Amino acid sequence: MRTYEPTPARRVAFLGLGVMGYPMAGHLARAGHQVTVYNRTVAKAIDWCAEYAAAVGKANQLNYAPTPRQAVQDADLVFCCVGNDADLRSVVLGADGAFAGMKPGAVLVDHTTASADLARQLHATAQAQGLHFVDAPVSGGQAGAQNGALTVMCGGDQAAFDAAQAVAMAFSKAVTYLGASGAGQLAKMVNQICIAGMVQGLAEAIAFGGKAGLDMNQVLEVIGKGAAQSWQMDNRGKTMVADQFDFGFAVDWMRKDLGLVLDEARRNGARLPVTALVDQFYADVQDMGGRRWDTSSLIKRLR
């Protein structure tokens, strides 16, 4: 079980209990914080409270609320992890949104992978209302969330980051400040560019080796000790050989992320020929019925 560095117990809220948010909020509960959760499907929020009340033995410190506004009312820190820009707007803005209920000076830390433009807009809106907003997308996938080992990339005001960093370490191995509002989202785009290229390269290598008659599990063991080694090879190479793709980060989500990358590249003039090509390869995988397959399923196109 994950061990926690002691931090003062805080009143926190967590908005969004998907495959990432559910365990992330759980780590906050295990770390001793008083947590109120919100989820669009209320039944999941009720299940979360029951599960973690049993795990930590402090049912009175874990609650759920029917709207984001109600969930955040007493919170010093609000964490959010939803699907996309539209989802983020829906839980943060409007009469029932988080900003309408947060107390003055509270900090909203958004772990959604969203556009840098939206991060900047929400940062400006928060400032105008006496609040703080940190864009803080994560890398590490579902396994990282479950194991409390996410890497968090943050943009916003330094003081807001400093207020949230220690608490966010409950579900992270690194929480790093990268600069002004939007810097976290831009760093996540860099991350996804790297992953797209590496997965395609690994898929081509495994397909090539298979056509050549090699034992690819053995080959991966060998080359994984040299310069070709990567997280993708260590964690997805053998499952790619075995044609297993029912885990990890879904193709639909990668396409969403690469869409953000390519939109940003059109704005800043960056040339991303490999990324644009791999995005189209993922479209092929979607057409093959692989919308929920893991991103390593790129190899399916090559078999």
Tens digits of residue pLDDT in 21-54: 999 999 999 999 999 999 999 999 999 999 999 9
Contacts of 262 (CB under 8 A, 6+ apart): 272, 275, 276, 279
d(CA 208, CA 268): 36
Element (H, E) at 107: strand 107-110
Bridge pairing between strands 138-139 and 150-155: antiparallel
**Exposure on the CB side of residue 101, measured as CA atoms within 13 A:** 23
Residues in the chain: 303
Residues 184, 78, 160, 87: is their CA dihedral positive or negative? positive
d(CA 83, CA 196): 19
Q: Which domains does the chain have, with CATH numbers?
A: 11-180 (3.40.50.720), 187-302 (1.10.1040.10)
pTM beyond 0.85, yes or no: yes
pLDDT of residue 58: 74
Please identify which of the residues 44, 103, 173, 188 carries the catalytic annotation.
188
For the residues 232-259, what does the mean pLDDT come to?
A: 96
Instruction: Report the b/e string of 149-159 with b at 16+ CB within 10 A.
Output: ebbbbbbbbee
Does residue 188 have an active-site annotation?
A: yes
Find the largest Cα–Cα distance for the chain: 65
